[in-house]
Amino acid sequence: MLDVWQQLIILLEGVPLTLSISIISFFIGMAVGLPLAFIRVYEKEVSFVVDAYEKIFRGVPEIVLLLLFYFGIGSYFPSTFGNAFFVAAFVLGLRSGANQSQIFRGAIRGVGDEQMIAGMSIGLSKWRAIWHIMVPQVFNFSTAGLGSEYALLIKDSAYVYVIGLAELMKRAIEVKYSANDVVTPFVLSALIYIAITFPIAFWLDRWGNRRKKKIGL
Amino acid sequence: MEARHVYKTYGSKSDKEPKKADTNTCVDTKSVIEAVKDVSLQIRKGDIKLIFGPSGSGKSTFLRCMAMLDIPDKGEIYLGDECLVEPGVDLNKARARIGFVFQHIYLFRHLTALGNVELALRQVFKLPKDEARKRALDALTEVKVTDCINKYPSQMSGGQAQRVGIARALARNPDIILLDEPTSALDPELTGEVIDTLRDLAREGTTMLIVSHEMPFAREVAEEMIFYDEGTIVETGPPSLFFNAPNTDRAKKFMTRIINRTTREEMNV
């Protein structure tokens, strides 16, 4: 029998993996979602490609994508998709990119087309205006959405136990067997999930509000 | 700079034109707005011309077409010898030579006054940091807003912000500055400082095409006034023509209304 403290320690050892998967996929999602949002708004001719991508990654359950990429595609490309951590970051990152693209699209509307027109009026090209004028302001309008996206990623990271990564969820299941206790490990992991989700979401929101205050929004 | 036979219409679904039709109940009476119909206008170096006319008549759209911020449906825009509507023209380069001042100012909200003015110098003209800063400071000094160099747009008054907007257009020494009702979004007591700035520019021989209803100012600085109504130029002439006896009825009516309003305001002061 494992006592509560022993269980807690085993679970906590999974936190670094849970956090690194979530944070890495959050930034992959940003690197993908931000340019895609601008493509959807300002390059209407190719936005159907973005639309298809968003539909696939928002429409198919993560767990299906994880299994597909790890066991399916991974058997053809074992050096990349055979790596569980890579697949986890890849799938969660691209799924988050589809969401973040929508978050940023709303934020672009919030910044307003007139900022873009003003940028063009001084001689900036479309993409330079996007880079110098829209991108810095887009974050002011997206921190709330990004905060909840991060919370979503922490929760989604629980799915990666299906490809064998020993993160928090996987450990909770194992502790359940070895401790022969179906309540404590899940209560503990629930508390740990809450503890690692909200401080960062809260901090993001506060950072956004400060930025907004600075520029008077 | 010259516009030749420029046309621009907006469909009812256009998202750029504020949807005037939606505000009243008869939405479908006019689904296409002809904002610019066969407008030609020439402005030479050092000229100051002033466009005025009823609101919603398409003056702003025409001005945006001049700057190629809206692409005309038909007609030509010349900047020097270059025809801007031809394919393959580098519009960004052309826009860099045209200063534009917006009615609603549109300063970059995430940048200070200095940052707003510097941006084009650094990123479009690729000036070294020191030189860009120096020229930006010169422009801000010229419009007398040195006290808010490090302020963000939200921390400025409307008059200060609009003068920064003028500095932003001015700093890169454009061939011409287009001003779209630069004072009409400001509180009445703030229009004076912006008008003073424009007067200074006029004195220095800056080429300007101004949409404005500041009649005393127009009388003082404009070589030519252009009465614009329902998407087209109705009458053109020196200020003396409009202030004494315009030829067309429409211009006559409009001038009477404007002058009555102006004198009323002056009496109230």
Closest by CA to B10, choosing from B60, B76, B67, is B60
Is B124 within 8 Å of A121 when comparing Cβ atoms? no
| Per-residue model confidence (pLDDT) at position B12 | 54
The parts of chain B modelled with pLDDT lower than 70 are 12-30, 266-269
| Per-residue model confidence (pLDDT) at position B264 | 72
Is A122 within 8 Å of B124 when comparing Cβ atoms? yes
Secondary structure letter of residue A91 according to DSSP: H
| Per-residue model confidence (pLDDT) at position B98 | 96
| Per-residue model confidence (pLDDT) at position B110 | 93
Chain Cα centroid distance, residue B62: 10
Question: Which of B123, B153, B172 has its CB closest to that of A128?
Answer: B123
Instruction: Please list the helix, strand and coil fractions of chain A in percent, rounded to the nearest 5, in that order.
Output: 85, 0, 15
Number of domains in chain A: 1
Phi-psi region of B75 (alpha: psi -120 to 50; beta: other; left: phi over 0): left
Whole-angstrom Cα Rg for chain B = 19
Indicate the fold that domain B107-203 takes in CATH.
Answer: Rossmann fold (3.40.50)
User: Is residue B110 within 8 angstroms of chain A, CB to CB?
Assistant: yes
Q: What is the mean pLDDT of each run of 10 residues along chain A (217 residues)?
A: 87 94 96 96 92 93 95 93 95 97 95 95 96 94 90 93 91 90 92 90 84 75
Give the phi and the psi of residue A150 in degrees, each rounded to 5. Answer: -65, -45
Range of the domain at A134: 4-215
Per the CB < 8 A criterion, the answer to whether B183 and B214 are in contact is yes
* CATH number for the domain that contains residue A206: 1.10.3720.10
Cβ-Cβ contacts under 8 Å between A and B: the total is: 68
| Per-residue model confidence (pLDDT) at position B22 | 45
User: Is residue A136 within 8 angstroms of chain B, CB to CB?
Assistant: yes
- How far does the CA of residue A148 sit from the closest CA of chain B (Å)? 24
User: Is residue B154 within 8 angstroms of chain A, CB to CB?
Assistant: yes
Is A132 within 8 Å of B119 when comparing Cβ atoms? yes
Secondary structure letter of residue B184 according to DSSP: T
Give the phi and the psi of residue B213 in degrees, each rounded to 5. Answer: -120, 20
Is B69 within 8 Å of A121 when comparing Cβ atoms? yes
- How far does the CA of residue B253 sit from the closest CA of chain A (Å)? 34
Segment A87-136, tens digit of pLDDT? 999 999 999 999 999 999 999 999 999 999 999 999 999 999 999 999 99
User: Is residue A208 within 8 angstroms of chain B, CB to CB?
Assistant: no
Question: Which of B16, B69, B124 has its CB closest to that of A124?
Answer: B124
ipTM of predicted complex: 0.86
Mutation target for A interface from B13, B16, B108: give the one with most A CBs within 10 A. B108
Question: Which of B98, B108, B152 has its CB closest to that of A118?
Answer: B108
Is B69 within 8 Å of A123 when comparing Cβ atoms? no
User: Is residue B129 within 8 angstroms of chain A, CB to CB?
Assistant: no
Mutation target for A interface from B110, B175, B179: give the one with most A CBs within 10 A. B110
- Interfacial B residues in 189-218 facing A (CB < 8 Å): none
Alpha carbon separation from A56 to A71, A81, A95, A157 (Å, rounded): 19, 19, 9, 19
Segment B47-63, tens digit of pLDDT? 999 999 998 899 999 99
Q: Which residues of chain A have a CB within 8 Å of the CB of B154? A: 215-217
Domain boundaries of chain B, sorted by first residue: 107-203
Per the CB < 8 A criterion, the answer to whether A138 and A34 are in contact is yes
- How far does the CA of residue B106 sit from the closest CA of chain A (Å)? 6
Considering the entire predicted model, what is its pTM?
0.86
- As a whole number of angstroms, the distance between CA B256 and CA B242 comes to 10
| Per-residue model confidence (pLDDT) at position B30 | 55
